[in-house]
Amino acid sequence: MSHKLAWPFNTPVDTRAYPDYLKVVVRPMDLLTIKSKLESGGQYRDPKEVWADVQLVFSNAKQFNPPGSDVHVMAQTVLDYASEKYEKMLAQKVADAETQAQRDE
């Protein structure tokens, strides 16, 4: 992700540096893993599954890092940014589908 605050979420959490991470986070996820799953094909059946993994990245970060900590704040900031982009993309898809439906009539 190109957001300047996304860098902590680009790769898997180093569980050697944070040994309690897997005790707190049940399903680890990071942006590189999402990208790899997208590039390999067949991992996601629906864009909603991709979005669920994106949300998981940031909910994990907020779960592990206490409120007010840098990473918690960064996670919320980047999630808000990504949510706005996702909503705009969905709105455009709906508008495109409506335009196509009108043309098909």
pLDDT tens over the chain, length 105 residues: 679 999 999 999 999 999 999 999 999 999 999 999 999 988 999 889 999 999 999 999 999 999 999 999 999 999 999 999 999 988 887 787 778 777 887
* Residue linked to tokens 């991992």: 43
pTM of the model: 0.86
Task: Give the separation between CA 100 and CA 97, rounded to whole angstroms.
Answer: 5
Longest dimension (CA), the chain: 60
- The residues near 44 (Cβ < 8 Å, ≥ 6 apart) are 37, 38, 50, 53
Q: What was the pLDDT predicted at 1?
A: 65
Question: Residue 16 and residue 2: Cα distance in Å, rounded?
Answer: 27
Q: Which residues contact 24 (CB under 8 A, 6 or more apart)?
A: 63, 64
Residue ranges and CATH numbers for the domains of the chain are 7-104 (1.20.920.10)
Which pLDDT score is estimated for 91?
84
Count of positions (residues) in the chain: 105
What is the model's pLDDT at position 96?
Answer: 74
